[in-house]
């Protein structure tokens, strides 16, 4: 130890009374009040220009100091015409489609550091098609203490108020919530979205059942995907006023769907509901996300994302049962830690939580250490997938397992930037620090960025009124799913894939614990492990080390676990109860089904009588 270091340590101990000197206190934040820039908390005027000005000022004054952007406890109208606009490409949306490359963003935190947007209990009402908020190339960002909704959601929630038969013709009366303008035209309904105050034209429009439907039963508290009968065999459509529409049919049988809600929408995910890109340490906390327009919250190539006490659910008394156009939370290529805690997920149109990477397929070998890689799903393209220094893994498409010389580091990338279209948006050329393994095949090998994989904690959440899976997760880092309640999932409550054939969502699970959760009224299989490998070999499984322990299952006649290609699966200390009670006839479905798996342990569980506790393996 040098003389100077020794003296420095001694001085620190002396001044600190035996401990090193504490770090200097954090600077007090600069406070930027959006109302001072003309934002209107009464909700009568468009607050967009004021919010944009306040955020730009915060960016300037916050260089080197923490900054807080504050709202009053009121209602703020946010229109897209004067919102910040950026060309952006986002995972699982519209891919490289140039019609949608420009995204409008209501609250934009960009190239900022140590910034908090504190809503102060405000409600933000968004109009048109725009991203509610975004963090781009920023660090230590917090969005907290506000609610947000959209004036005219891109989903129509049509409740069948009454049904009947008049003069031999069946009819339905639909009740339409506020915020869903429409026009009756002969035997059709045109949904008009909402008119732009700038152009007088609707931000979006569609006819009748639009392109996709799911059905919600508010009494049973279930939601599922299904066909839409509302616009079959239509004889006449009448506007009864009071947001009630009567549809008469050429058929005579009285419809049996009174009380159900038909949730209808278009299918293009034009932009994210919220966006976290190339950012670090981003938190959403104490928020009401009453609706997410076009898609959900997307975290993309960022590090350390936390979602805590966020209520993803329709606004009370809104008459709506939908709160997201698709997923709620999609984490794509995130590293560090993803933490999702103490939140409610109610009323999406796709999976509440999906955490994954992206497999790119090898389409060319331009050099001994270089590959040309391609995005293969049309919804994902245009943004960087690798950076110099990242570690990658090469895997076969057919077996979904690593090659013998599986890993390398990236030294150079030539591809899309994620914010312009100057280069091809679906391909990139990547150079590595060593020769490409000889086993790499064009069309037969996929590459995953294993640096951009997170550890995950999903804890203390509620999932309900979900038409799909509850949680999708594929990451090789430790995953803990604990203390959650899953009610009436229409598909698997927890789904583990790794897909190199359809969605190309990577990668293998190596340490997954599912502990202390409650699964009520589930569809089967409750826990579903299904990688897309075409060749199954128990000696070389895709996934490893999955533990399901101390959970409670209240089930009908369904399979609890259906797992493919897993090495090491434990189901221990769980309680499995029948929904109809143990006195009824035995259930037919086996509780456990395994394909191409090994290292299975099922022990110390409690079962109601009449359950089929057999283990099916092949």
What CA–CA distance (Å, rounded) separates 465 from 322? 9
- Summary mean pLDDT of the chain: 95
User: 3-class SS at 232?
Assistant: coil
pLDDT on residue 584: 85
Token pair of 161, please? Answer: 């108020």
Both ends of the chain: CA-CA distance in Å?
A: 63
Work out the percent of the chain whose per-residue pLDDT is above 90. 93
pLDDT on residue 582: 84
User: 3-class SS at 296?
Assistant: coil
Q: Is residue 6 predicted with pLDDT exceeding 50?
A: no
User: By C-alpha distance, which of 262, 345, 342 is closest to 296?
Assistant: 345
Question: How would you label 114-142 residue by residue, b for 16+ Cβ within 10 Å and e otherwise?
Answer: bbbbbbeebbbbbbbbbbbbbbbebbbbb
Q: Is residue 19 predicted with pLDDT exceeding 60?
A: no
pLDDT on residue 63: 85
CATH T-level assignment (fold) for domain 9-150+273-350: Pectate Lyase C-like (2.160.20)
Looking at 407-550, list the stretches that DSSP marks H as alpha helix, in order from N- to C-terminal side.
none
User: By C-alpha distance, which of 86, 568, 95 is closest to 358?
Assistant: 95
User: By C-alpha distance, which of 565, 478, 553 is closest to 520?
Assistant: 553
Structure confidence by residue, pLDDT tens digits, 579-589: 998 888 899 99
pTM of this structure: 0.95
- Tell me how many degrees the CA angle 137-138-143 measures, rounded to the nearest 5: 125
Token pair of 412, please? Answer: 């150079």
Token pair of 294, please? Answer: 């076009």
Structure confidence by residue, pLDDT tens digits, 494-544: 999 999 999 999 989 999 999 999 999 999 999 999 999 999 999 999 999
**Average pLDDT value for residue range 370-391:** 98
Domain range list for the chain: 9-150+273-350, 155-265, 358-449, 469-617
pLDDT on residue 148: 98
Contacts of 91 (CB under 8 A, 6+ apart): 298, 300, 330, 332, 333, 358, 379, 380, 383
User: By C-alpha distance, which of 567, 357, 535, 563 is closest to 446?
Assistant: 357
What CA–CA distance (Å, rounded) separates 296 from 274? 6
pLDDT on residue 8: 36
CATH T-level assignment (fold) for domain 358-449: Thrombin, subunit H (2.40.10)
Dihedral class, residue 203 (left if φ above 0, else alpha if ψ from -120 to 50, else beta)? alpha
pLDDT on residue 24: 59
Token pair of 334, please? Answer: 């995130």
User: 3-class SS at 59?
Assistant: helix
- In 10 A of CB 224, how many CB atoms? 16
* DSSP assignment string, 466-522: -SS-SEEE--SS-EEEES-EEE--SS-SEEE---SSSS-EE---S-EEEES-EEES-
Q: Is residue 15 predicted with pLDDT exceeding 60?
A: no
pLDDT on residue 5: 32
Structure confidence by residue, pLDDT tens digits, 442-488: 999 999 999 999 999 999 999 999 999 999 999 999 999 999 999 99
User: By C-alpha distance, which of 302, 307, 347, 305 is closest to 327?
Assistant: 347
Token pair of 354, please? Answer: 């999906």
User: By C-alpha distance, which of 354, 335, 349 is closest to 499?
Assistant: 354
Dihedrals φ, ψ of 409, to 5°? -110, 145
Residue 28: exposure state from Cβ atoms within 10 A (0-12, 13-18, ≥19):
exposed
What CA–CA distance (Å, rounded) separates 570 from 134? 40
User: 3-class SS at 45?
Assistant: strand
Pairing of strands 67-70, 113-126: parallel
């Amino acid at each position: 130890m040098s003389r100077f270091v020794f003296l420095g340590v001694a001085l620190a101990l002396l001044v600190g009374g035996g401990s090193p000197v504490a770090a200097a206190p954090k600077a007090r934040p600069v406070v930027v009040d959006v109302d001072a820039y003309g934002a209107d908390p009464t909700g009568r005027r468009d607050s967009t220009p004021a919010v944009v000005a306040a955020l730009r000022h915060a960016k300037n004054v916050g260089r080197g100091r923490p900054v807080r952007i504050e709202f009053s406890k009121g209602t703020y109208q946010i229109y897209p015409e004067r919102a910040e606009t950026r060309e952006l490409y986002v995972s699982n949306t519209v891919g490289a489609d140039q019609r949608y490359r420009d995204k409008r963003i209501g609250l934009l935190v960009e190239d900022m550091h140590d910034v908090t947007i504190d809503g102060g209990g405000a409600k933000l009402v968004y109009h048109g098609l725009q991203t509610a908020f975004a963090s781009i190339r920023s660090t230590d960002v917090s969005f907290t203490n506000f609610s947000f909704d959209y004036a005219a959601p891109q989903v129509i929630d049509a409740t069948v108020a009454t049904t009947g038969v008049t003069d031999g013709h069946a009819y339905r009366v639909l009740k339409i919530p506020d915020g869903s303008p429409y026009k009756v035209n002969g035997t059709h309904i045109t949904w008009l979205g909402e008119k732009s105050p700038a152009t007088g034209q609707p931000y979006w429009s569609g006819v009748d059942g639009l392109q996709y439907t799911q059905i919600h039963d508010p009494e049973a508290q279930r939601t599922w995907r299904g066909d839409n009968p509302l616009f079959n065999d239509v004889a006449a459509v009448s506007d009864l006023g009071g947001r009630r529409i009567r549809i008469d049919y050429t058929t005579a049988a009285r419809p049996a769907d009174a009380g159900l809600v038909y949730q209808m929408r278009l299918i293009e995910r034009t932009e994210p509901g919220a966006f976290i890109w190339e950012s670090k340490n981003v938190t959403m906390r104490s928020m009401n996300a009453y609706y997410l327009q076009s898609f959900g919250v997307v975290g993309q190539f960022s590090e350390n994302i936390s979602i805590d006490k966020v209520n993803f659910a329709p606004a009370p008394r809104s008459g709506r049962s939908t709160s997201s156009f698709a997923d709620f939370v999609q984490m794509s290529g995130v590293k560090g830690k993803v933490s999702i805690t103490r939140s409610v997920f109610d009323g999406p149109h796709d999976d509440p939580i999906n955490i994954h990477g992206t497999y790119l397929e090898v389409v060319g070998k331009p050099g001994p250490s270089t590959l040309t890689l391609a995005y293969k799903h049309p919804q994902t393209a245009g943004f960087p997938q690798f950076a110099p220094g990242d570690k990658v893994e090469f895997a076969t498409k057919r077996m979904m397992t690593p090659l013998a010389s599986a890993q390398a580091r990236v030294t150079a990338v030539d591809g899309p930037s994620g914010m312009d279209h100057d280069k091809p948006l679906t391909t990139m050329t990547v150079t590595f620090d060593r020769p490409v393994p000889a086993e790499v095949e064009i069309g037969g090998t996929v590459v995953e960025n294993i640096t951009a994989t997170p550890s995950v904690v999903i804890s203390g959440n509620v999932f309900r009124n979900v038409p799909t899976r509850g949680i999708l997760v594929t990451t090789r880092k430790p995953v803990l799913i604990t203390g959650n309640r899953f009610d009436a999932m229409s598909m698997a409550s927890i789904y583990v894939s790794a897909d190199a054939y359809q969605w190309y969502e990577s990668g293998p699970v190596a340490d997954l614990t599912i502990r202390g959760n409650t699964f009520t009224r589930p569809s089967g299989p409750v826990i579903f492990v299904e990688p897309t490998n075409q060749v199954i070999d128990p000696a070389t499984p895709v996934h490893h080390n999955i533990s399901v322990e101390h959970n409670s299952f209240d089930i009908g006649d369904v399979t609890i676990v259906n797992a493919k290609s897993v090495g090491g699966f434990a189901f221990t200390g769980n309680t499995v109860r029948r929904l109809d009670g143990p006195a009824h006839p035995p259930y037919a479905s086996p509780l456990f089904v395994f394909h191409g798996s090994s290292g299975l342990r099922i022990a110390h569980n409690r079962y109601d009588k009449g359950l089929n506790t057999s283990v099916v393996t092949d």
